[in-house]
Amino acid sequence: KAGVTQTPRYLIKTRGQQVTLSCSPISGHRSVSWYQQTPGQGLQFLFEYFSETQRNKGNFPGRFSGRQFSNSRSEMNVSTLELGDSALYLCASSPPEHPNEQFFGPGTRLTVL
C-alpha cells in the first residue's frame, strides 16, 4: 500500500496570506489527523477528521481549519498567516482496527516571511 502523502512538501508564504495543505491517507484509512511541529512547542495536535466530520480539535485559533472529503483525503487551511505559523505540518491516518496506530506523512514545511 502507498503511504500517507502530503502536498506540497515545501511552501514559502508571506504574513497575511493564506495557505492550503493537502493530505492523502493510506487506502482504507478513514481517520486523518493534523499536527504542527515547531522546535519550541514540539508536536501539537490540530484536529482529527473521521468520515468527513471533525471529531476532535486541539487548542489552536480559528485561523486553522480543515476538512475531509468523501474519499478520506483531507485539507487544512491557515488564514492570515503569522510568522509563528512557520512549522512542519504533519498529517497522519490510522486504520479502523487500530486508531492509535497512526501512519504519518512526510510533512509540509511551511515558512512564513
Partner 1 sequence: LAKTTQPISMDSYEGQEVNITCSHNNIATNDYITWYQQFPSQGPRFIIQGYKTKVTNEVASLFIPADRKSSTLSLPRVSLSDTAVYYCLVGPDNYGQNFVFGPGTRLSVLP
Judged by beta carbon, residue 34 or residue 81, the one nearer partner 1 is: 34
- Min CB(91)–partner 1 separation in Å: 8
Which spans of this chain sit near partner 1 (rule: CB under 8 A)? Answer: 4, 31, 33, 35, 42-45, 48, 50, 55-56, 58, 88, 90, 92, 94, 98-107, 109
Judged by beta carbon, residue 42 or residue 62, the one nearer partner 1 is: 42
Judged by beta carbon, residue 43 or residue 113, the one nearer partner 1 is: 43
Burial track 82-100 (b if 16+ CB lie within 10 A, e otherwise): eeebbbebbbbbbeeeeee
Cell 479502523 appears where? 96
- Min CB(47)–partner 1 separation in Å: 9
Lookup: cell for 14: 508571506
How far does the chain reach from its first CA to its final CA, in angstroms?
37
Task: List the beta bridge partners of residue 112.
Answer: 13
Distance CA 38, CA 60 (A): 14
Judged by beta carbon, residue 18 or residue 69, the one nearer partner 1 is: 69
